[in-house]
Structure 1
Amino acid sequence: MTYSRFILGCLLVLMAATVAVAAPVHSYLPEGELYNSQVVAPEKVLGFEIGDRHVRHDQLVSYFQQLASSSSRVKLTQIGRTNELRSQLLVTISAEQNLANLDELLAKRSFLNTNKAKKSADEPLVIWLGYSVHGDEISGANAAMVVAYYLGASNSESIKQLLDNTILVLEPSMNPDGMDRFVNWVNTHRNSTINTNPDHIEHHQPWRTGRTNHFGFDLNRDWLLLTQQETINRLPYFYQYQPNILGDFHEMGSHSSYFFQPGIPTRNNPLTPKANIELTTALAKYHATALDQQQQLYFSQESFDDFYYGKGSTYPDISGGIGILFEQASSRGMVQKTANGDLTFAQGIQNHVTTSLSTIHGAWQNRDSLKNYRNDFYQSVEGLVDDENYHGYLIQANQDSYRVNELLAKLTQHKIDVFALASDYRADGVLYPKGRSFYVPLNQPQYRIIKTLFAQPTQFNDNSFYDVSGWTMSLALDLNVKEIKRSRSLKLAQQTWQASAAKTEQLASDAYAYAFEWHHYLAPKLLQQLLSQGVKAKVTTKAFSAKVVQGSQKFGTGSIVIPSGIEQPANWQSILTSAAQNIGIELFAISSGLSVEGVDLGSGSIKPLKPIEVLLVGGKGISQYETAEVLFYLDKQLGIPVTVVEKQRLNKIELSRYSHMIMVDGSYADFSDAMTAKIELWIKHGGTLVAQKRAAKWSSEKGLLNANFVSKKQINQMFDTSDLPYQDKANLASRKRISGAIYQTQLDTSHPLAYGFTDQNLPMFRNSNLIMDLPSTPFITVAQYSKSPLLSGYTDKNLVNRIANNAAVIAHNVGKGRVIATTENLTFRGYWQGTAKLLANSLFFSHVFSAY
């Protein structure tokens, strides 16, 4: 059978009537096809037909296991486990002989070792289809079973020809934990009789939606940042397969239709080659034809964008492939009444099956162009590097080796080569010590990823952003990185950097005291482990030097001292040394209470610390993302137990058992006067309120925070709207919004909330236009914006000028307690480690300072 029969088969499925209700798998597929009866169909395993129920993840796994057992074309790989221990599956579908030689085939076509080798024209085409990265966008995961069955069971010669020359990779559920959270909700609340009413509980998830993973993170923002386990598990396989094309299947609002890229042309990142957009546009014609045949509404060159490279549809664009976003209007249940009529779950599945097949069809038709594009993508690197006025980036050694290693680890996960300096280097008066400073050359295959991780653009062709406009990794980690104009004078290690375990030495058991410094990112984790097990620790508010085994050691403010001469638990030294070794933090054994320089160890300037009990306010109306980011930092990274309480339940909670309350961005207008009074009384009795963004503004409005915020009316008055035509309405809204940009602040490093920071310049992430005026009261401003604060990303100059010199973090007493407030997200997306310690300091050191 010739390839033309494959095209005909695809057209037949496109002309088939849209499946509106649950149906056997064949109903979603081309008419007249013959299938291998030995290959198991989904309904035979599930016990119900596709579209009849929302499939749980264990049922999805069970089907793919049996499909792989019954079809020699299907290979199943477990690429890892989620936080809730669900399997992450990768399904590879190709001819049997290709699967037998898969590693060799993939290695031959790899561009990771060189950007100069010409690739063979007969190398296989690789297509990756990723479904339901947002767990509540579930039609994709169900469509994956249909597509896999079709490819694994079809007896047509055209499919055999395709599979002889193509490797297809399906990720049926990119977010297993979120998938089950959503599916269990829908299956619990669906009626026996179908209810199309959008008000029905089936269509309304609770606060922690299935969109996110276990911790509450949007996994479709994590491809570049690599903070979540699911992404970390996936990326090595992405680079093993290096797909020519990646389809990313989503859902959107119920009243919409169907979307596929190219999207808005002006919203593409300039690092994306024009040929990428041209190929995406060419492939769009196949999706349009497919949906036309089914008379499905759709749109393409509107909405969304391809600017932020941390998404499944954009990360391939800087990795030699073509990423394509697909969005299906969501039934968010079985059936929902919409502006376009009743939308069924089965319709959503059918549309994703249709565009999955049109992606395969279009990619096969354009296989030579896709292969040539990938070859040209890497061949062009040398010329692009020649056009740059610098050769690479030099990463300066930092007191906090953890954050330096975090950056290096992320670079290596992105297959970027990093080299340690083999000898000291000095530039512009700055010393870059050997072994602890690192060089990233531009001239390597991952040139575009290097650029996107380090560049700091502030000017853009289109100022409308679907996601963030600034994400510079070095700024997020608060690391100094320098562009190197000429690299000839650098002496580098011969081998690329590789992570190694931190080493700690055995300490004397008879020391007068033990101490560790606070600049290490995980120092709060060590302190938490000590305090939670009854070990008594103190923090120094003045620097001192003490006698240690190595000689004399200087300890800066914020260093933690654990004295031997006070009441400690019986096994406290074992607890201390074991915890320090496990975390990788250097401990010092101090031999005398008489300091070499500065305060002695019995000084009142070395203050005792208390265990903490943290309450985090969540629930409807509160940002599930910011709550997740705080929880991830405190719970996952620092090991601090956090009690999450929905704000609707807060009035029933006895606050006196908690030392700290964290309120992230959200709406608090529905707090009653009694609830506000309860919080105020708790603070006055010694509690600490940490308020972020709109929670900070609420604190100001209720008189808890000594700060003033710029009003919405004042924001509007910054922009001249005279003579603006209606068509400029959206552009004006974009100018007033800060989608995500990076700003420079000046940190008061003498303040206890800034312990562990040695540099006054601290980059912060902003994704709101909340502006807090600089207070006139002295000593309460911990951080304020610099005179010219914008470092990376887009913000209208009117907002930049209004933000300049104003407050970013303030803290002061309220009775016996404290209120600490910021307009920023200190733990944004789990990778913003540069400012995260401000939050830890707000917990452990809130009673170390007194502003009044």
Structure 2
Amino acid sequence: MLLIRILIISFTLLCSIWLNAKPVQSYLPAGSQFNNKIPLPSSTLGFEIGQRHIRHDQLSSYFYTLANNSARVNITSMGKTAQQREQLLVTISSPKNLANLASILSERDLFSPNKQQLTKQKSDEAPLVIWLGYSVHGDEISGANAAMIVAYYLAANDDKKITELLANTVIVLEPSINPDGMDRFVNWVSTYRNSTDNSDANHMEHHQDWVTGRTNHFWFDLNRDWLLLSQQESKHRLKYFHQYQPHVVGDFHEMGHNSSYFFQPGIQSRTHPLTPKRNVELTTTLATFHAAALDKQQRLYYSEENFDDFYYGKGSTYPDINGSIGVLFEQASARGMQQESINGLLTLEFSIENHVTTSLSTINGAWENRQQLKQYRSNFYQQSNKLAKKEDFSGYLLHESKDNYRLNALLSNLTQHKIKVYPLTADFEFKDKEYQKSNSYYLPLAQPQFRLIQALFNRQTNFKDNTFYDVSGWTMPLAMNIEAVQVNRTRGLKLAKQAWSIPATFTQNSKNQSAYGYIFEWHHFLAPKLLNNLLANNIKARVATKSFSSLINGKEKHFKTGSIVIPAGIQQNTDWQGLLIAASNHVGIPLDTITTGLTMKGVDIGSSSLKPIKKAKTLLLGGSGISQYEAGEVRFYLDETLNIPLSIIDHSKLRRVDLSTYSHIILVDGNYQHVSEHTAKQLKQWVKQGGVIIGQKRGAQWLAKQEILRTRFFTKKQINQLFDHNNLSYQDKEKLASRKRIAGAIFQVELDTSHPLAYGYQQSLLPVFRNSNLIMEQPQQPFVTLARYTPSPLLSGYTDKNLVNRLAHNAAIVAHNVGKGRVIATTEVLAFRGYWHGTAKLLANSLFFSKAFSTPYK
């Protein structure tokens, strides 16, 4: 009897929930006729859309079911995320178009050889292509839900208008751009959702823990990665984006719960100057369709405030520099099932419905303006060569003599963006410098992606509007620390016929049983990865703190400080040579074999100047208030790139941790005011006893407040005093705030290359990235400053001249002793967004060479 009663109660509760749920048709325009053989989402999910949050596997299951039952739907697996979730691409069109999709895409491919433009007739006849991307931020879940409804509408709708549209249109859906973040969010909400709906904004359902579902597995914002391509989700997607080359791209997001609904054009003065004005005009034309659709439902919205179209690394702006019209959509978010807002009760269903509405208005608006969109795309690329000829230089020479990894990383990025770069077939002399063919490449401006080349290499520092939603400078060669020289003459420049492609990995190292030892140089980007592998296998290594020369294959070779020596005589692992050879070949770093400990010049191999290196055991402080982005960047660089294990511990639990087992602790940017006094004393004592603590931005500032770091920071009052506050009206408030802010710009520092923390750097001038106005004073004591700003430090992006002048000559990176330990601090973001290879190595140096220097602070 008890079981029967429980079943009756459960059934009654289920029925009540189902009665409150909205069927799919209620999200769609009235009057359409649907094919009843096409499955509804509820037939796969077991519940109605909006009734509960969907997991990624449920989302995928429905789309596969839809494709199996509709001749209008194709599924492509683009790849898998770090957590092995499938990235789906859903193509919807007429069965005829889908059967001929490969030839359709090939016919309109502007990047294939000898096909840089379509004839007007072929352009008019080719299908319109629309790409709709949903929920790049995993906790902005209404987009992923809307994708299922939009797909059903297009697959099942028997209206003549839809049939005609699909006969002449290819629609691409990316239902969940961030599957790992999506499931992280869904698990959180599902855990804290009550059986009874709760709209209280304070309820835990609406407040995710650290880390949120916004980011992917490595805690990266994928909506900043279209241009940078540090994350595999972005690399997978971009391949297909350039296959489809869409005319219009819809990018569907969520924002704060007290907002309404936003669609672009946004603030037009903040559109990047490389984006054609015609793009903004067409975006504005499409906006009238969104407005009309939302007006029918009497929904609140706005269109020309808050958001900009400047940084080309976002899903709504990358299309703009690729001949498409990218449109950002932002829906107020319930961040759960429902939440009270200033506009009344905000529900998940309401949010989904708005995104469905504007998805369909995007399709409708693009269809009604298809000839204009096709003509725009054709003109965009036809103008490339003409625009290139107006420049006072023909292209860039890309050069890096010591580190193929960073050079190849840049070339790979350009290649994925359909930019062609050509190897030199002969050495080339330009401006009294010889560029060797083995490590130099030429990037011509005259190619279809001319505008994108400008976007990647641009070093603009003055702007019409100085307010930026995201970064203002992202210059790719500066981030990679690769020399990029503008070439205004090509006479004598001999190039390969084929553009660069990813080279095959090489295996050149081999065992030498009579070897006295081996050496590898630290200028290789992956040298820390190799070193960590050796230390993890108990292979003993030493770093040269003084230079020397040895006889290598009958010739004298000079080894700089930072070179890693693996002497044979001190090894205890019987297979050390086999492990060394395998590891070095895997990362592609050449080994030099030495046959004697007696060098030709400088210190000998047995010198005390060759310091033993210990394996680092590193802790990253995480938890509430700590930047998940900067923590993710450090994690990605150390763990994913270098395979160095990284323990992440919540600061609230640190007092229960035995810190003596760790060699290094990293504090990224964050609010550390909640770190207990006990934990602060614990950290200070640990450093004094020999630990190494690394602080970045406010992490460094907190170390200074604890008197672990002996460096002063400029106060907010001192920053404010740089600006004139007199005679300002209220409307100047936003402009003044923008002047005081460094949203993201590139600066130049002078690096002390003799310092152990700078081992591997060949040049003293180094580009760095900063996105805060936190400024360290230049210490008066010598040998403490590893990097300081040059007299005119701004290289790319916007920063007010008052801040630039204040940064000049001041410290960027400092390091000194604390008892037996060390503290290393910076105001820069060393591993910014996973692509800033130029400074990331300073982190690795801080792990391996932190005890190779000694600077007691007096």
Fold conserved between structures, TM > 0.5: yes
Measure, in 2, the Cα distance between the counterparts of 1:20 and 1:405. Answer: 58
**Structure 2 residue aligned with 1:490, among 481, 488, 493?**
493
Aligned to 1:51: 50
- 1:821 partner SS: strand
Tell me, yes or no, if the aligned pair for 2:511 and 2:577 is still in contact at 8 Å.
Answer: no
Q: Is the Cα–Cα contact under 8 Å of residues 212 and 218 in structure 1 kept in the other structure?
A: yes
Q: Distance in 2 between matches of 1:353 and 1:810?
A: 52
d(CA) in 2 for partners of 1:285 and 1:532? 61
* Unpaired segments ≥5 residues, structure 2: 1-17
**Alignment-derived partner of residue 782 in structure 1:** 786
Residue matched to 1:326 = 329
1:439-465 CA-to-partner distances (Å, cap 9, x unmatched) read 000000001111111110000000000
Which shows bigger deviation, 350-359 or 420-429? 420-429
TM-score by length of 1: 0.97
Are the counterparts in 2 of residues 544 and 597 from structure 1 also a CA contact under 8 Å?
Answer: yes
8 A contact 1:530–1:536 mirrored in 2: yes
Aligned-partner residue type, residue 566 of structure 1: I
The within-5 A match list for 1:163-178 is: 163-178=166-181
SS in structure 2 of the partner of residue 389 of structure 1: coil
Give the partner amino acid of 1:74. V
Matching residue within 298, 309, 314 for 1:311: 314
CA deviations over 1:45-69 (Å, ceiling 9, x no partner) = 1000010011100000000000000
Measure, in 2, the Cα distance between the counterparts of 1:585 and 1:547: 19
Aligned partner of 1:730 in structure 2 is 734
Q: State the Cα distance separating 1:397 from its structure 2 match.
A: 2.9
Give runs of aligned pairs for residues 134-149 of structure 1, distance below 5 A: 134-149=137-152
Q: Contact (CA 8 Å) 1:115, 1:381: kept in 2 or not?
A: no
> What pairs up with 1:132-531 in 2 under 5 angstroms?
132-503=135-506, 504-531=508-535
5 Å-filtered alignment, 1:710-749, equals 710-749=714-753
**SS of residue paired to 1:505:** coil
Alpha-carbon distance in structure 2 between the residues aligned to 1:456 and 1:651:
46
Is the CA contact 2:385–2:450 (under 8 Å) kept in the aligned structure 1?
Answer: no
How far did residue 502 of structure 1 move? 3.6
Instruction: Report % sequence identity.
Output: 59
Counterpart CA distance in 1 for 2:513 and 2:414 is 40
Report what 1:700 is aligned to: 704
Please give the alpha-carbon distance, in whole angstroms, between the structure 1 residues aligned to 2:45 and 2:719. Answer: 55
The amino acid across from 1:757 in the alignment is Y
Residue 62 (structure 1) aligned with residue 68 (structure 2) = no
* Letter matched to residue 851 of structure 2: H
Cα drift, residue 550 of structure 1: 5.7
> What is the correspondence of 1:530-609 to structure 2 with a 5 Å cutoff?
530-549=534-553, 551-609=555-613
2:72 match: 73
Cα separation, 2, equivalents of 1:157 and 1:567? 78
- Indicate conservation of the 8 Å contact 1:693/1:823, yes or no: yes
Shift of residue 21, structure 1, vs aligned partner: 6.0
CA distance in 2 between counterparts of 1:549 and 1:93 reads 62
Which residue is 2:116 aligned to? 115
SS of the counterpart of 1:731? Answer: helix
DSSP-derived class of the 1:542 partner:
coil
Q: Distance in 1 between matches of 2:676 and 2:781?
A: 29
Q: How far did 1:643 drift?
A: 0.2
CA offsets per residue over residues 798-840 of structure 1, 9 Å max, x none?
A: 0000000000000000110000000111000000000001110
User: 3-state SS of the aligned residue for 2:346?
Assistant: strand
Structure 1 counterpart of 2:839? 835
| 1:685 corresponds to 2:689 | yes
Alignment partners' CA distance in 1, 2:81 and 2:161: 37
Deviation at 1:145, TM superposition (A): 0.2
The residue aligned with 2:798 is 794
Contact 1:129 1:247 in 2 (8 A): yes
Tell me by how many angstroms 1:708 deviates: 0.7
Alpha carbons 1:753, 1:842 under 8 Å: kept: yes
Structure 2 Cα separation of the partners of residues 245 and 642 of structure 1? 42
How much does 1:381 deviate? 0.9
Contact 2:509 2:584 survives alignment (8 Å): no
- Residue 99 of structure 1 aligns with which residue? 98
Give the AA of the match of 2:125: D
Show CA shifts across 1:164-193 (max 9, x none).
Answer: 000000000000000000011111111010
Quote the Cα distance in structure 2 between the aligned partners of 1:320 and 1:775: 50
Whole-Å Cα distance in 2 between the matches of residues 106 and 485 of structure 1? 36
Which portions of structure 1, spanning 4 or more consecutive aligned residues, are displaced by more than 4 angstroms?
Answer: none
Structure 1 counterpart of 2:813, one-letter code? V
Q: Equivalent residue of 2:833, what SS?
A: helix
Q: Deviations over 1:10-41 (max 9, x none)?
A: xxxxxxxxx99631111111222211111110
Residues 513/51 of structure 1: CA separation in 2 closer, same or farther (3 Å cut) = same
2:469 partner amino acid: Y
Q: Distance in 1 between matches of 2:834 and 2:433?
A: 30
What amino acid is aligned across from residue 289 of structure 1 in structure 2? Answer: A
CA contact (8 A) 1:507 1:588 kept: no
Equivalent AA in structure 2 for residue 115 of structure 1: Q
SS at match of 2:437: coil
- Contact residue 21 and residue 347 of structure 1 kept, 8 A: no
Cα separation, 2, equivalents of 1:21 and 1:415: 50
Q: What is the letter of the counterpart of residue 54 of structure 1? A: H
Q: Deviations over 1:230-272 (max 9, x none)?
A: 0011111000000000000000000000000000010000110
Letter in 1 for 2:516: Y
- SS where residue 579 of structure 2 aligns? helix
Q: CA deviation at 1:111?
A: 1.0
5+ residue gaps, structure 1? 1-18
What secondary structure sits across from 2:223 in the alignment?
helix
Could you tell me how far apart the structure 2 residues matched to 1:509 and 1:801 are? 58
Relative to 1, partners in 2 of residues 1:550 and 1:506: Cα closer, same or farther, differing over 3 Å? Answer: farther
Count of aligned pairs between the two proteins: 834
Give the 3-state SS of the residue equivalent to 1:435 in structure 2: helix
CA distance in structure 1 between the aligned counterparts of 2:117 and 2:238, rounded to whole angstroms: 23
- The equivalent residue for 1:7 is none
1:4 aligned residue: none
Aligned residue type for 1:805: H
TM-superposed CA distance for 1:509, in Å, is 2.2
Shift in Å, 1:598? 1.1
Question: How many Å separate the matches in 2 of 1:225 and 1:648?
Answer: 34
Q: CA RMSD in A?
A: 1.1
